[in-house]
Structure 1
Amino acid sequence: NPTARAQAAILAGAGPENRKEEAPTYPAKVPPARPVLTEEKNVLLTGATGFFGAHLLKELLARPGVRVICLVRGGDKKRLEDTLSWYFGAGWIAGVRSRIQTADGDLALPRLGMEEKQWKALAEEIDGIYHSAADVRHYAADAGEFLTTNVTGTETMIGLALQADAMLHYISTASISGDFLVGEPEKTAVFTEADFYIGQNWEDNIYIRSKFLAEAEVYRAMEEKGLHARVYRLGRITGRCTDQVFQRNPENNAAFLLMRAVRCAGAITESMARLPVDLTPVDWCASAVLALGKSRRTAFHLLNPLPPSMKEVALAMVPGLLIVPDSSYGPLLLARMTDANRDILAPLLDYHNRTGAGESRIRVDCTVTLEAFKEEGFTWA
């Protein structure tokens, strides 16, 4: 609720402004998956200029005979190649350039801004869609623009997948699990791959809200229109496990923003120290998506089943880390909140407010995903 009007409504006890549909309209469970019937040789990829999307493109091109059409605003192939060159080197691009094509499209526009003839031609050409593009800012003033990109854009990709009779691989986030149950905030719960809406607090953060609503549209299309889809709920994406290369624009990475804030504060609370912190290497995660594409399940949780604690992670970055009582953390943050580092500390303040004085009440389980890895012969490094 980033506007003065919305905040005034909350302080007056009126609740969040512009509340969407009532919670009971969302499915509690993920629909069953339909079997994979075709090989994906001509694939459409959105978000290829992003950190995860670029690595997903590399994994797709590691498959023999696969050709990838990358949706890029303005059809800017140079921008795409600059990004790929930064992550993988010019030599790699030279070897795969003939199998990469760009298509001009904008997720905020109907039919991606394409003429009907172009739209139909694209639908006839592709047999798989990997939709990883999203506005990933966790703090945004313009909620309408944000939801248009992440929700309406996903609806457009659903429509294209249905017209093409293609599998939609939707890249979501494990954060849709929420931190607590709205009706019973003290109750603990487990969020599995089969779960979708369990009463969690999905509306508090604009990014999580948009991914929840987009995922809901995927499930509606599966149940009502026969969409073939797989959903991959990603954890906090971090640098490559092979060489530690990190995101080109780290200011757009949630893990980076949180850890930078912890380093700036130099302190965490006693209860925060116990919280698990998922850190998922980008290259491993991209490989996992491709490994699970033909699985008989619908949704997967791509994160660390045994995550380190916030204390372990914070100590690796801040050797002189202070662990303070929860009651004194507010004054400490306030003292650190100077003009120079106010924006840096904002993600930590949000994290502290969301987790409160205790651990997250909802645990994200990935047992089913680990079973799927075994079935597909994919090892957890």
Structure 2
Amino acid sequence: MTSTTLKGVAEEFAADIVLAEDITGFEAPEPHEVSEVLLTGATGFLGAFLLRDLLAHGLVVHCLVRGADPGAGLDRLKENLRGYELLDGLDLDRVRVHNGDVAKPRLGMTEEAYAELAGRVDAIYHSAAKVNFLTVYKWLRKAIVDATHEILRFAGEARATLHHVSTTGVFLPAEDGTPRGELDRSGPPEDLALGYTKSKWVAEQLVLEARRRGVPVTIHRPGQVWGDSSTGACQPNDFVWRFMKGSIQAGCYPRKFRLRMNMVPIDYVSRAIVALSRDPQALGGVYHQVSPGSLDAADLLRLLRAAGYELTELSTLRWMKAVSADVNNSMVPLMRVLVDTEKTELAEFSDELTRERLKGTDVTCPVIDDKVFGAYVDYFVRQGVLPAPGL
């Protein structure tokens, strides 16, 4: 980082956005047919869908997975894919599991294994991240910030392009309310509400500095990622879903609650990232995977009722009391975050550059309508996360 970049950054983050000197640029390879790639975060939500879509392009996908041995790592991978109903139909013969840890030096691998892997892959998809909205920045630093240094070092060793998954959470709302575009300035980190978004902002600064040094990198910023628009497969610990589940458990819903987020289906996010990564003209850009519009609390209530859930509207205070009365309610651990969310103005986002680059492909963002939301509910009922409507 230059002194100009460091100016104005809070002391807490200034040292962390200094990229290690041993991470240097290299000439991006000439466009060619990529055959083998490295994927981090394959045992997560987005990583599972990236694995599916990368395999759909006939690639050999090397997955870095924590585990006692490759067999245990493969079992973790299968369990994750099964949970999102992705396992059937996937050709796992083209998946290579490597035991390691993205936050450790040399990715937690032996020198021999590290060098062998670096010699095979042409592209890296870095989707691994510790997602925790309750933890402060310093406890996420190793899992996200240190890991970014290590993945950038590996990119240099492999002379591979890097596709880095960030988040739209690195933005504050614009003072005039205009949507935040791909090239708008993010941060400042000290004003971001969550330790998670602060850590992702710091990681982005490292990636941007690596790009300035000549490392071929592309940044992807998904919005609030929701389930697959066809199968409904979704992560149950998503903040908004826990809010809705908590309301279903309590049988009531907060009237005029201030909650507005850009929810985007996971299948679009994954397909867009893969499509952009395979477009040589997209290399080096920043892209937003977001929906055309946001959903607010009133929209969520309408969708819940359309799905068949009967909820009584109460004042926010009475709703909070009803939720807090049940220690098993899914929202109890997140009440502090919920209060902060209602007080916080959230940014809107635009994706003009992303949509322009995706022109000519079949990748478009589905609208989260009654049908798509109904698929989400059906999935959660199948998984035992939500009661069936009417019960």
Shorter-chain TM-score tier: 0.7 to 0.9
**Structure 2 counterpart of 1:259:** 244
**Structure 1 counterpart of 2:101:** 106
Alignment of 1:1-381 (within 5 A): 19-21=12-14, 37-64=31-58, 66-74=59-67, 75=70, 76-88=73-85, 91-93=88-90, 96-140=91-135, 143-178=137-172, 180=173, 187-197=176-186, 199=188, 202-224=191-213, 226-247=214-235, 250-251=236-237, 253-263=238-248, 266-270=252-256, 272=258, 275-293=259-277, 294=279, 295-296=281-282, 298-317=285-304, 319-322=310-313, 324=315, 329-330=316-317, 333-334=320-321, 336-338=323-325, 340=327, 344-347=331-334, 349-356=336-343, 359-360=345-346, 362-381=347-366
Structure 2 Cα separation of the partners of residues 256 and 314 of structure 1: 12
Structure 2 Cα separation of the partners of residues 136 and 144 of structure 1: 14
**How far did 1:39 drift?**
2.9
**Structure 2 counterpart of 1:14:** none
Structure 1 Cα separation of the partners of residues 109 and 15 of structure 2: 34
**How far did 1:42 drift?**
0.7
Q: 1:253-287 CA deviation, whole Å, 9 max, x = no partner?
A: 33323333454563335361xx5432222222211
TM-score (ref. length: structure 2)? 0.76
Q: 1:199-233 CA deviation, whole Å, 9 max, x = no partner?
A: 47654211111111111111011112x11111111
CA contact (8 A) 2:247 2:323 kept: no
Q: Report the CA distance shift for 1:36/1:245 in structure 2 as closer, same or farther (over 3 A).
A: farther
* SS of the residue 1:117 aligns to: helix
TM-score (ref. length: structure 1)? 0.78
Give the letter aligned to residue 242 of structure 2. L
Give the letter aligned to residue 236 of structure 1. Q
Q: Report the CA distance shift for 1:39/1:208 in structure 2 as closer, same or farther (over 3 A).
A: same
Q: Report the CA distance shift for 1:337/1:133 in structure 2 as closer, same or farther (over 3 A).
A: same
Q: Report the CA distance shift for 1:214/1:169 in structure 2 as closer, same or farther (over 3 A).
A: same
**How far did 1:99 drift?**
0.7
**How far did 1:246 drift?**
2.5
- Unmatched 5+ residue regions in structure 1? 1-16, 27-33
Q: Report the CA distance shift for 1:109/1:199 in structure 2 as closer, same or farther (over 3 A).
A: closer
**How far did 1:237 drift?**
1.8
Q: 1:119-158 CA deviation, whole Å, 9 max, x = no partner?
A: 22211111000011111121126x5442101111121111
Give the letter aligned to residue 58 of structure 1. R
Give the letter aligned to residue 218 of structure 2. R
Structure 2 Cα separation of the partners of residues 239 and 187 of structure 1: 31
Give the letter aligned to residue 379 of structure 1. T
Structure 2 Cα separation of the partners of residues 284 and 162 of structure 1: 29
Instruction: Tell me how many residue pairs correspond in the alignment.
Output: 337
CA contact (8 A) 2:168 2:222 kept: yes
Q: Report the CA distance shift for 1:197/1:23 in structure 2 as closer, same or farther (over 3 A).
A: farther
Structure 2 Cα separation of the partners of residues 90 and 316 of structure 1: 29
Give the letter aligned to residue 120 of structure 2. E
Give the letter aligned to residue 290 of structure 1. V
**Structure 1 counterpart of 2:379:** none
Q: Report the CA distance shift for 1:234/1:107 in structure 2 as closer, same or farther (over 3 A).
A: same
Q: 1:179-198 CA deviation, whole Å, 9 max, x = no partner?
A: x46xxxx6535311012425
Q: 1:59-116 CA deviation, whole Å, 9 max, x = no partner?
A: 001113x1011101123212212322443465424xx122111111112211112222
Structure 1 Cα separation of the partners of residues 143 and 17 of structure 2: 25
Q: Report the CA distance shift for 1:229/1:376 in structure 2 as closer, same or farther (over 3 A).
A: farther
Structure 1 Cα separation of the partners of residues 196 and 211 of structure 2: 23
Structure 2 Cα separation of the partners of residues 23 and 107 of structure 1: 17
CA contact (8 A) 1:264 1:344 kept: no
Structure 1 Cα separation of the partners of residues 301 and 189 of structure 2: 27
CA contact (8 A) 2:262 2:348 kept: no
Q: Report the CA distance shift for 1:276/1:89 in structure 2 as closer, same or farther (over 3 A).
A: closer
**How far did 1:52 drift?**
1.3
